[in-house]
A and B are shown apart, each in its own frame.
Chain A
Amino acid sequence: QSVLTQPPSASGTPGQRVTISCSGSSSNIGSNSVNWYQHLPGTAPKLLIYTNNQRPSGVPDRFSGSKSGTSASLAISGLQSEDEADYYCAAWDDSLNGPNWVFGGGTKLAVL
């Protein structure tokens, strides 16, 4: 059971807009920034969004992030076949046992 909760799957057709949610708590999303990662199996994960809504250079502006309270979301507009991948939200969690970096369980995006 992941500390951050994501839907296990999402889907859309080319050109559509898809949103992936990420729910946490006051000890993680509620008090820290959220990152999003894109992961194609067998490859290195890729930083997609940092500090809730910032894109690293090279990431298309079709990808956008937002955060409100203890939840965050990733939106992908103009869906393309190459967007088919696993997406993870992540944040620092200020637990009683010490800081932990926590990932969501991941959302598998299918482009139909």
Chain B
Amino acid sequence: EVQLVESGGGLVQPGGSLRLSCAASGFTFSSYSMSWVRQAPGKGLEWVSHISSSSSTIYYADSVKGRFTISRDNAKNSLYLQMNSLRDEDTAVYYCARWDSRGYDCWGQGTLVTVSS
């Protein structure tokens, strides 16, 4: 069974840092591009970042560029999101999602990040 499980969320003060992880199983992780997508309370889905299967291509949303870093470890079947200089507006449920040629076809259940003093 294809599965994505996020972890690492929690409460952090503005200006702080947090590292999210996404553990993948049930498929050949190294063959797929991956992304992070978030949903702030009461808001819609917002794409955050995208990384290709070999990490050779990386994209970021303007809202997180320069503050967030996406990475992956194919040997550990894991995706990461290092979040620095966190702001109140970064409060959201963060989902990792698998990209194939059709779209984001598999998603995790999400991990909640709360930025508050």
Contact = CB atoms under 8 A, between A and B. Distances in A.
B14 interface: no
Nearest to A51: B102
Contacts of B102: 35, 47, 50-51, 54, 56
Interface of B is mostly: strand
A78 interface: no
Given A98-B59, A100-B59, A100-B61, A45 B104 contact: yes
A47 B104 contact: yes
A14 interface: no
A5 to B, nearest CB: 12
Contacts of A97: 62
Contacts of B59: 98-101
A105 B39 CA distance: 11
B45 A106 contact: yes
A47 B46 CA distance: 15
Contacts, number: 58
Contact of B47 (A46, A98, A103): A103
A46 B59 CA distance: 22
In this complex, the interface size class of chain B, counting residues with CB under 8 Å from chain A, is 20 to 34
A44 B95 contact: yes
A44 B108 contact: yes
In this complex, the interface size class of chain A, counting residues with CB under 8 Å from chain B, is 20 to 34
A101 B50 CA distance: 9
Given A44-B109, A44-B110, A100-B61, A39 B45 contact: yes
A88 B50 contact: no
B103 A50 contact: yes
Contact of A35 (B35, B37, B46, B103): B103
- Which 7 interchain pairs have the tightest Cβ spacing? A50-B102, A106-B44, A44-B107, A35-B103, A101-B47, A50-B103, A103-B45
Given A45-B107, A90-B47, A104-B44, 9 more contacts: A35-B104, A37-B45, A44-B108, A54-B102, A90-B45, A90-B103, A103-B37, A103-B44, A103-B45
